[in-house]
Chain A
Amino acid sequence: MRKLLLASAAAILCATGLQAEVKVGMITTLSGGGAGLGIDVRDGFMLAIAQSGRDDIEVVIEDDQRKPDVAVQLADKMIQAEKVDVMTGIIWSNLAMAVVPSATAQGKFYLSPNAGPSALAGKGCHENYFNVAWQNDNLHEAAGAYANTASYKNSFILAPNYPAGKDALTGYKRMYEGGLAGEIFTELGQTDYAAEIAQIRASGADSVFFFLPGGMGISFLKQYADSGIDLPVVGPAFSFDQGILQAVGEAAMGVVNTSQWNKDLDNPTNAAFVETFQAEYGRLPSLYASQGFDTANLLISALEVAEPGDKAAFRTALKAANFDSTRGAFAFGDNHHPVQNIYAREVVKEGDVFTNKIIGVALENHADAYAGDCAF
């Protein structure tokens, strides 16, 4: 199966002789420290394309190295040289902000498999921009909502000192009704959290909320576990996805995190996805992989109905979101961002592998706070 898929993907990539009808440009992070996320999105996306059996979709994949200027250059290449119809793939909000406004202004459709900056959900929304993952605040809001149900009264909250970090704390506070024991902005890329952990210990908090994506979260959790503090921790799924959970190890056990997806979500699409992804790539899928998979299926569902050349029809087809999502029910709000359930998950160990288990719904049919500002 693996060989077969690679062969077909290669055939698609090379587009040998056969005239592809639809060209998709994927700009994502495939090298450097953040490559794991991009690779998951790409693999999920390509799995869905292969499963659809359509050989008229050509996917051009490029590595943005997580550098905004490289992403912009690649976007120019996709639009000017490859003349793609649809773009997708970007992981990071700052790269999305660099690429998406100009791509949509040039008449391209953009389907976001991960980043959902607030600017693109509110005033800066665009009719050709569809977010298939979440608005950035969503998972933090869900964490705030979960904190209420767990009756936390005095949270200590921390995030890196950059826009997404500030959005995270805003998102948590939007839903959370208790008081704050402390609020800290850490340095972006910080690796040692001893100082912050000491402050948490001294603050008299009853819970901790943190948003520290990637390696920062791994470092924080390991050090937090070692500090002997046993306040409950809650955070968005980014620090607990399948890719990095193994690197955190025991330290993550029992932590509650919020996600719009989990591998035990009970629907047939998801069960098939988890099984085929694992068979194909030899690892469990992460939420990024599920987002890539859903993005591709959304695209395919729209292509069944309309051509990207017919913009109005294609847009309507995308808006309908008439595909089987790994998340079960899936719908777009008026600003083309998802309206979806967000779950609380708990980190558990299955055999030797650390993974997540759904423990409840944190927010039901949740849209984002910026939709009202959006007018196409």
Chain B
Amino acid sequence: MSTILIIEQVLNGLQFGVMLFLMAAGLTLIFGVMGLINLAHGSLYMIGAFVAAAVAGLTGSFLLAIAAAMAAAAVAGVLVEMLVIRRLYAADHLDQVLATFALILIFSEGTRWVFGSFPLFLDIPSEISGPVTLPGGIEYPLYRLVLIGIGLAVAATLGWLITKTRIGIRIRAGENDREMIAALGVDISKLYTAIFALGAALAGLAGALVGAIQSVQVGMGEPVLILAFVVIVIGGIGSIKGALIGSILVGLTDTLGGIFLPELFKLFMAPAAAQSAGASLASMAIYILMGAVLIWRPTGLFGARAA
């Protein structure tokens, strides 16, 4: 296995990781600030992808599609927050799990009802499609580099938002002490809606960006949702930094596990059996990683709050 291949795979893992981060960041904010476990976050991702595909199909503009995806996901998020989620902040996790499970059913079949049962088409704009040659002679798709860039930029912006701005101070205050910030005169319910909208918009952005290189179809949100949960649990719920590191860890584990585990098994097994056993183990790898992290640190890598 050549160095070039390994570097390329690391880039792939990184790209997968930063896309997961877009999902995980919203989830972890929503959990950290409002104490809400939102299974329907994957549906917002799906909405982003579908709206992007529909808008790109109508206008031909990818930028417009992305803007529309973020807006639509944010609007859906706000609606859901105001109609349903708002009543659940005080409820226990059980009610939240059930209610947002119900939302998944509604969103998935609702989307199928509106857009039909066939996958939609969404393509990379021609300006950023195709491979570029990186130093060292690695050929790598430009679009994936763009994704890495966008993901890291969002991570940096969020970091700045949380640590340096007024709203970030409020968000952090809200994580620590809900009554206190209400007493300080911050309209807590508007703050919650705003955070939910932000999280939803990020999910919509991820859906639109990833939709261009994947299949835009009903049910695309759930696998990503579960991975995003794995990420925030590894990183520690409520921590943006944890979400970023968790995302990249999961992205790298998943990508590199799929490559190297079969190779590893080939050292002491017949190739066909090794291929199959390695692939099986690779598909379990991130869950094993998560189990190990939680057994080692029961509140994740950067989690302070026992939820």
Contact = CB atoms under 8 A, between A and B. Distances in A.
B121 A249 contact: yes
Given A35-B117, A199-B259, A186 B279 contact: yes
Contacts, number: 133
B3 to A, nearest CB: 11
B280 A194 contact: no
B118 A187 contact: no
A32 interface: yes
Interface string B1-32: 11011001100110110000000000000000
Given A185-B276, A249-B123, A32 B220 contact: no
A194 B262 CA distance: 17
Interface in A16-44: 30-33, 35-36, 39
A228 B141 contact: yes
B55 to A, nearest CB: 16
B219 A195 contact: no
Contacts of A33: 217-220
B219 to A, nearest CB: 4
Contacts of A247: 118-121, 215-217
Contacts of A310: none
Contacts of B144: 194
Greatest chain B CB density within 10 A among A192, A214, A249 is at A192
A198 interface: yes
B165 interface: no
A218 B219 CA distance: 15
B139 A215 contact: no
Interface string B215-258: 11111100100000000000000000000000000000001101
A30 B256 CA distance: 36
Nearest to A248: B121
B131 interface: yes
A226 B129 contact: yes
A201 B283 contact: no
A334 to B, nearest CB: 31
Nearest to A33: B219
Greatest chain A CB density within 10 A among B108, B220, B258 is at B258
Contact of B119 (A187, A201, A215): A215
Nearest to B216: A247
A184 interface: yes
Contact of A192 (B16, B109, B271, B280): B16
A226 B219 contact: no
B20 to A, nearest CB: 10
A168 B59 CA distance: 40
Interface residues of B, number: 51
A216 interface: yes
Given A35-B112, A161-B279, A244 B213 contact: no
Nearest to A246: B121
Interface in B251-288: 255-256, 258-259, 262, 271-272, 275-276, 279-280, 282-283
A195 B9 contact: yes
B163 interface: no
B130 interface: yes
A219 interface: yes
A248 B271 CA distance: 33
Taking residues whose C-beta sits less than 8 angstroms from the other chain, chain A's interface range is 35 or more
Main secondary structure of the interface of A (DSSP, over half): helix
A216 B139 CA distance: 23
A39 to B, nearest CB: 6
Contacts of A228: 130-131, 139, 141
Contacts of B129: 226
Contact of B214 (A36, A161, A192, A243): A192
B31 to A, nearest CB: 24
Interface in A187-226: 187, 189, 191-192, 194-196, 198-199, 201-202, 214-219, 222-223, 226
A51 B219 CA distance: 35
Nearest to B217: A215
Contacts of B282: 187
Contacts of A196: 258
B220 to A, nearest CB: 7
Interface string A166-194: 10000000000000000111110101101
Contacts of B218: 32-33, 35
A217 B8 CA distance: 22
Nearest to A196: B258
Nearest to B210: A191
B16 to A, nearest CB: 6
B22 to A, nearest CB: 14
Given A161-B280, A228-B130, A191 B220 contact: yes
A183 B275 CA distance: 8
A244 B121 CA distance: 9
A219 B118 contact: no
A250 interface: yes
Nearest to B121: A247
A191 B16 CA distance: 10
A39 B210 CA distance: 27
A184 B278 CA distance: 10
A227 interface: yes
Given A215-B220, A228-B131, A198 B214 contact: no
Contact of B213 (A185, A223, A243): A223
Interface in A249-286: 249-251
Interface of B: 1-2, 4-5, 8-9, 12-13, 15-16, 108-109, 112, 117-121, 123-124, 129-131, 139, 141, 143-144, 210, 212-220, 223, 255-256, 258-259, 262, 271-272, 275-276, 279-280, 282-283
7 contacts: A161-B279, A185-B279, A191-B215, A202-B4, A219-B214, A222-B213, A244-B118
Given A31-B112, A201-B8, 7 more contacts: A161-B276, A183-B275, A191-B220, A194-B255, A202-B5, A218-B119, A244-B119
